[in-house]
Each structure stands twice: as C-alpha cells, then as structure tokens.
Structure 1
Amino acid sequence: MPLAVYILGLAIFAQGTSELMLAGLLPEMAADLHVSVPGAGLLISAFALGMLVGAPVLAVATLRWPRRTALLTFMVVFVLSHIVGALTSSYGVVFATRVVGAFVYAGFWAVAASTAVGLVPANARGKAMSVLAGGLTVATIIGLSLGTVIGQHLGWRASFWAVAALSALAGLGVLATIPGGRPSGAAPRVSDELRSMGSPRLWLSYGTTALTTGALLASFSYLSVLLVGTTGLAPAWVPAVLALYGVGSLIGITIGGRIADARPFPTLYVGVTGLVVTSVALALGASATVPAIALIFLLGAFGFGTNPALNTRVFSLAKDAPTLAAAVNVSSFNVGITVGPWLGGLAIEAGLGYPSVAWIGAAIGVLSLATVALSAALHRSTAAETSEVLSRV
C-alpha cells in the first residue's frame, strides 16, 4: 500500500475528528456562544448539510484539476475555516464555518477516494478504501475522546486549533506524497462522467450505501442515552463503551477491506445481516449490561465491515466517472447519517423508548439487504449476458 494512501487516511482522521468532536463539546460551546444546547447541536446539522452538498458540487467543479491541487485547496480552506471558528465569538460565524469546513471535507473525501483507488491495482481497491475510511474509524476511537478532553480542559476553541494544526500537517503530507499533474490518460470531462452515472445498478448501490449507513446510525446516534437510560450504565463508563464500538469498527473495516475486492456481495450479505441481527438482539437485550456492551462492539464491527465494499463497488459500476461516482457515494453516506438518527428520534419522541432505535435500525437493515439481493441478481444477469455474447463471438 503506497504511503500516499496512509497520508490520505491521516487527513481523513484530522478532518473526521472535527466532524465527531462537537458531540462532546456542546455544553461548553452553548455557554460560550450564548445559545441553548439544542442551538449548539444545530452546528452538527450544519456539518452534515455541508457534506451532503459539497461532494458532488466540488467533484464537478474540480474535475479537470490535478488531484493534488484539489486536495490541497480543500485542506487549506478547511484549516482556515477552523481558524476563523476558533477566533470568533459569533454563533452565526461558527455556524458558517461548520458548513464551509464540511463542504470542502466532502470534496476532499470524493477526490481522495478516486486518488486512493488510482494508486493501487484493481484487486487492492478495497484495502485502499479501508485505509482511507479507517482514518474516520480511528477518529471515532481517538479523535472524539481527545477532542472532548482538550475542549473540556482548555476550551472548545483549543479543539478547533488542534484540528487545524493536525489538518495542516496532513496537508504537508499530501504535498509530499501525492503525485502532481493530472492522472494519465485523457483529461476527464463532466459530460462523460455524467453519462456514466446513468446506470440503474449504480443508483441501486447508492441506495444500499444510504440504507446500510442509516441502519447503523439509527442505533449509534443514541447509544449514550441507551446505555445510561436503559442499560443503567454509569455515565463515566459511556466513553469506554463507545471506544469499544470504535475498536469493533476498526476490526470490521480491516477485515472488510481484505475481502471486499474478491467477494463484494458476500461481504455485504454478512455485514448487513450481522447488523440486522445485532440490532434486534440489542433491542431485546439492552437492559442487560454485559450483553449490551458486547452487542455494541459487534454493531461497530458489522456496520463498518461493509464500508470497503460500499465504497469500491461504485468504481466498478462507473469506471468512466470515478470522481463523480465517489462524490455521490459520499452524499449517500450522509443521507443515511441524516435519515437514520431522524427516524430514531421520531421513535423516541413517540414514547417508544430508547431500545426502539435498534428496531428502527434493524428495519432499515432489512431494506438494505433487499437492495443487496437485487444488486446481486442484476450482477449475475449481466455477467450471464456478457458470457453469452462472448461465446457467440
């Protein structure tokens, strides 16, 4: 695996820490910016909004740029957005910097994904994507807790400065390791990429990405309140359990990255089925401490085990649109990130209890399994038709 792929993973870790750390900084930010805690929580929504829109827009806007130029431009804007956020005392300015930072972070994700798979052979794409997405997994384990600790002891602005510094360091790594100039071959054209995006199988794959992510996030978003309110765990132990979830995620994405290229559909079947079964078991056993903790570990492992297959499949379905295909896939992840917690919140507000979010996750997971089965059937049909044509020739 080229060093450049690990540098891209480091950049995702730095930027992903910013995405995650606000969950632990909301009380401090609310008090300092003179807004309510729910008002501060809207800063998380602002980040999701920026990512949802940023990936496809920036992928098209920078399509003909050298990839190193695009990546560095995104990182410079990301760093500046955090510096401005750390210096201001205005809630509105912080809100704007979250949108801008997420916007370019999404663009970085899209270009980094196409860059990573372009640096390795076709049979190593899953592993490359597991390294890239592994940066976000490590951010879940280390970045979230470290950003929270820094914010609690030195103020939330110190966390913003730390993210800016780490992102700048990763930017230097990008400058040193990512090849300059455009990739070999003809310069990409937006019309060609858009034409390649018309495949129904590709959009079905995006549906799998959104549904699988929604199935995971429906439960994950409320694990803290589930552990305290239903399992009866002391709040002081919640970070440790969430770190265990992160360890499971890292193990899952590592295993998935090693088998996704050769066996994409079995990877998805096992991962999504495991996610459904684990969600059901969590809904039924959330009140028992040890089983609940073990199930949360498995939730991370199965949920993230599908990630490499979800990422690499779009490149095989849109060979002529690698950047735009990756960009829309980033948006698909963020659709799941938005819809899953929203549906879980509706269940809680309806008085169904915290375990209900796991039932919501299981239901979404069943829908995801249906899209995987349909995708596999279409793949077999296409392969059979191709084989028949070749035999005639």
Structure 2
Amino acid sequence: MSSSAVGKVLGASLLTTVGSLPVFLLATQSVPLRRELGFGEQRFGIAVAAFFTAASLVAIFGGGVADRVGPRVSTMIAGALSGLGGVGVALLAHGWLTLVICMVVLGSANAAHQLTANLAMSRSIPAHRRGIGFGVKQSAVPVAIVLAGLAVPTMTTHLGWRSTFWLLGGVGTVVLLAGLLAPGPTRSTAASARRAGLDAPPVKALLVVTAAIALGSAAANSMGSFIASWGFEIGLTPSQAGGLMAAGSALNVIGRLLTGHLADRRHGRNLPVVAAQMAVGGVALLAVSLPGVASYVLASLVAFAIGWSWPGLFLFAVVRIGREAPAKASGYVQAGAFFGGATGPLLFGVAVDAFGYETSWRIAAVVFFMAATLVLLSRRMFLTDLAARPPRVQLGYGGGRSRPRWTTEDR
C-alpha cells in the first residue's frame, strides 16, 4: 500500500474514532456527569439512545448528500457538528434536556464522520487494498473505547468531565479546518454522474442489509456488554474477566485486519464470509450459555476473534457494490449498526432480568443466526440486481483469486 493510501486509511480511522468517541466519553464519565446534572440512570440511557438514534437517521438520509457534495465538504460538515456538539456539552449542558440536545448533534456528527470516512476510502484507496483498509477503519472503534477509558484517570480526575468535551470540540474544529484546507474540488465527480442518472445500489437489498447488521450488532454488542458479568457469575474473578475481555478485544482487532486482508485476495464473495462469521458467533454464544469456565473462556475468545470480526468486511462488501453511491450504500450499514448497538444491550439486559443469563445467551445466538440468514438473502438480491442492471464500471464478483468467477457486462 502506498504512503498516500496509508495516509487515507489513517485519516479515515481518525474520523471514525472522533465520531465514536462522544458516547464512550459519556459512558466512562457517567457517575460525575449524572451527579452534577442531577438525573438518574434511566435518563442517562435516553441520552445515549438519542446519540444512536440521531446517528441512524443521519446515516440513512445523509449518505446521498455525502455522495453529492464529496469528501471535502462532508469532512467540513462532520468537523463542524463535532465542534458544535463538544463545545455545547462543555459550555451549555447544565441539565438533562440540554445534554440530550447536544448528544443529538454529536450523534449526527458521528454519522457524518462515518459516511465521510467510507466515501473517502471508496474513492481514494486502490480496489485491491480496500478490504484491509476497512478492517483498519473498523478497528478504530475499540481505540475510541480505550481513549475514553484513559480520559477518566487523566483529564476527568484533574480537570473535570467537561474538559474532555472541550477537547472534543477542539478536535472537531481541527477536522473542520482540515476539510477547508484539503486540496481538490468541493463537489465530487458523483454530482455530474447524478445529473446523467446516478447509478445507485438497489434500495430493497440495502434495507435487508440494514436489518441484518442491526441484528448482528445487537447480538455482538450484547456479548461485549455482558460477557464479563456472566464470567463473574460462573466463577471468574473480576480481574480474570477483565483479562479475558482484553484478550478478546485484541483478537477481535486481529480478526478484523485478517478478514480484510483475505478479502483483498479474492474477487467478491464477501457476504457469505460475513454470514459464516455471524453463524460462528451464534454457535459460540450457545457454548457461552453453558455454565462451565473452560467452555466459557474458549467460546468467548472464538466469539470475539471470529463471531465479531465481520463489521469491516460487511461495510467493505456493501460499499464495493455501492456503484456510484458508496456513501449512500454505507449509510444503510451504519444505520443498522447504530440501531443494533443501541438496542441490543438494552433488550439483553431485560432478557437477563426475565429469563436469566443462560436463556439470554441462547436468544442472542438465535439473533446471530437470523442475521446470517438475512446477509445471504441480501447477497441473492444484490446478485440478481447486478445481472439485471450491470453497473457503469465493470465489476468482478462471485469469488476467485486470480480472476473473478463472474464479471458484469460493460455499459
């Protein structure tokens, strides 16, 4: 990968980190924040939900806008929203309602950051390196979690929780300035393509993709949120459960990178791999439900390493067949991921209270299997659309290493 491509990947990863960071800052600093603003956990949950709801809506409806205005203007919008939201929390959040409004702005910024990163990657990274590029980009989310955790013993302890949002506002301003100073036209070449009739992906298939990743994210994020608690229930110490989480997170990052690398070595057939990874996640959660320490540890590591290594590949696969609207296509993926990530842990917690951990893990496994089925259904719909409506740019698909199994006709 050239130095220019590496720079683009790192820039996209930075955008992903900045966009994801606010909700993790909110989570890691919830105790001092709630104490100062005077509200309980229920209202705190609504504030988190507001972030993800705004992100989902903007991801769906903002993808087409990003395709039209291009990466430069999209970067400026993302930076402006992050700066406004970060400064808003630091300066104006003196009650719950104001905080919620600011989290809506920051959720919109998150969607704008993700769409911008996806658009820039699809237009700037060589096609044979985009798999690993999206793997690196999606590994930035665990980085955001780490940064939010480090903020507590450093900035929060000495300067208060508002200082972290002041810093976030400053970073957003830097992103805005980077967009302003970026070379190239402010409008993308996709605008002219739109005037000639935008070659867009099939919306029905994208809706199935949205449902699939929502279910997959719901199951995966439930695992990430509750796997340590279940470990403590079956006999692990808190430090052992924490060590398992750290090891699982490391394997998860390695899995995402390896998955992206392997995707670059074949021509398509990525969605069946995503479905297989989700199915492995479902089997692993069935094993996690068994109350034995050995099976729990092994199954948890498999769930992290394989069962949750698909986000980058899923995004890459959909963007690859996104035709001339990669941001619009990725918007459906991001919206589903935001929605599933927000609702999954909430519903899993309700299930634990009602049925216990064992049954809840089995329900999450079924959700994984449902997600895998929908991924395969969406692939069939994409293949049908490629045959009936070949894209402007010839596309190889169906697998194969030296050459693709199938190739679309020229138009």
TM-score range, shorter chain: 0.7 to 0.9
Cα shift at 1:331: 0.6
What amino acid does structure 1 have at the position aligned with 2:217?
T
**Match for residue 163 of structure 1?**
168
The answer to whether 1:274 aligns with 2:280 is yes
**Match for residue 55 of structure 2?**
51
**What does 1:343-382 align with in structure 2 at a 5 Å threshold?**
343-350=347-354, 352-376=355-379
Label 1:388 to 1:213 Cα distance change in 2 as closer, same or farther (>3 A): closer
Q: Please tell me whether the aligned partners of residues 8 and 125 of structure 2 are also in contact (alpha carbons under 8 angstroms).
A: no
**Match for residue 101 of structure 1?**
106
User: Take 1:376 and 1:176, find their aligned partners in 2: how far apart are those partners?
Assistant: 40
What amino acid does structure 2 have at the position aligned with 1:357?
S
Q: SS of 2:192's equivalent?
A: coil
Cα shift at 1:250: 0.9
**Which segments of 5 or more consecutive residues in structure 2 lack a partner in the other structure?**
391-404
Label 1:66 to 1:377 Cα distance change in 2 as closer, same or farther (>3 A): closer
Q: Please tell me whether the aligned partners of residues 15 and 117 of structure 2 are also in contact (alpha carbons under 8 angstroms).
A: no
Q: SS of 2:209's equivalent?
A: helix
User: Take 2:116 and 2:380, find their aligned partners in 1: how far apart are those partners?
Assistant: 30
CA offset digits 1:125-153 (Å, max 9, x no partner): 2222122222113223x223213434652
**What does 1:239-250 align with in structure 2 at a 5 Å threshold?**
239-250=242-253
Q: SS of 2:289's equivalent?
A: helix
CA offset digits 1:271-296 (Å, max 9, x no partner): 112211221111114x52x6534543
**Which segments of 5 or more consecutive residues in structure 1 lack a partner in the other structure?**
none
What amino acid does structure 2 have at the position aligned with 1:91?
W
Q: Please tell me whether the aligned partners of residues 126 and 312 of structure 1 are also in contact (alpha carbons under 8 angstroms).
A: yes
User: Take 2:58 and 2:271, find their aligned partners in 1: how far apart are those partners?
Assistant: 29
User: Take 2:252 and 2:117, find their aligned partners in 1: how far apart are those partners?
Assistant: 21
Cα shift at 1:9: 0.5
**Match for residue 137 of structure 1?**
142
Label 1:388 to 1:126 Cα distance change in 2 as closer, same or farther (>3 A): closer
CA offset digits 1:75-131 (Å, max 9, x no partner): 122122111201232221111111111112102211320221110222322222122
The answer to whether 1:123 aligns with 2:128 is yes
Residue 13 (structure 2) aligned to one of 9, 15, 21: 9
Q: SS of 1:222's equivalent?
A: helix
**What does 1:35-50 align with in structure 2 at a 5 Å threshold?**
35-50=39-54
Q: Please tell me whether the aligned partners of residues 215 and 367 of structure 2 are also in contact (alpha carbons under 8 angstroms).
A: yes
What amino acid does structure 2 have at the position aligned with 1:129?
F
Cα shift at 1:183: 3.3
Label 1:384 to 1:167 Cα distance change in 2 as closer, same or farther (>3 A): closer
Q: Please tell me whether the aligned partners of residues 67 and 325 of structure 2 are also in contact (alpha carbons under 8 angstroms).
A: no
TM-score, with structure 2 as normaliser: 0.82
Q: Please tell me whether the aligned partners of residues 214 and 336 of structure 2 are also in contact (alpha carbons under 8 angstroms).
A: yes
Equivalent pairs, count: 385
Residue 215 (structure 1) aligned to one of 212, 219, 237: 219
Label 1:184 to 1:274 Cα distance change in 2 as closer, same or farther (>3 A): same
Q: SS of 1:319's equivalent?
A: coil
What amino acid does structure 1 have at the position aligned with 2:104?
V
Q: Please tell me whether the aligned partners of residues 145 and 239 of structure 1 are also in contact (alpha carbons under 8 angstroms).
A: no
Q: SS of 1:109's equivalent?
A: helix
What amino acid does structure 2 have at the position aligned with 1:348?
V
User: Take 2:123 and 2:406, find their aligned partners in 1: how far apart are those partners?
Assistant: 31
User: Take 1:388 and 1:150, find their aligned partners in 2: how far apart are those partners?
Assistant: 54
What amino acid does structure 1 have at the position aligned with 2:252?
S
Higher mean alpha-carbon deviation, 122-131 vs 259-268, is at 259-268
**Match for residue 301 of structure 1?**
305
User: Take 2:67 and 2:190, find their aligned partners in 1: how far apart are those partners?
Assistant: 14
TM-score, with structure 1 as normaliser: 0.85
User: Take 1:47 and 1:191, find their aligned partners in 2: how far apart are those partners?
Assistant: 36
What amino acid does structure 1 have at the position aligned with 2:374?
T
Q: Please tell me whether the aligned partners of residues 290 and 296 of structure 2 are also in contact (alpha carbons under 8 angstroms).
A: no
Residue 264 (structure 1) aligned to one of 263, 266, 270: 270
Cα shift at 1:173: 5.2
Label 1:99 to 1:213 Cα distance change in 2 as closer, same or farther (>3 A): same
Residue 335 (structure 2) aligned to one of 306, 326, 331: 331
Higher mean alpha-carbon deviation, 173-182 vs 224-233, is at 173-182
Identity %: 19
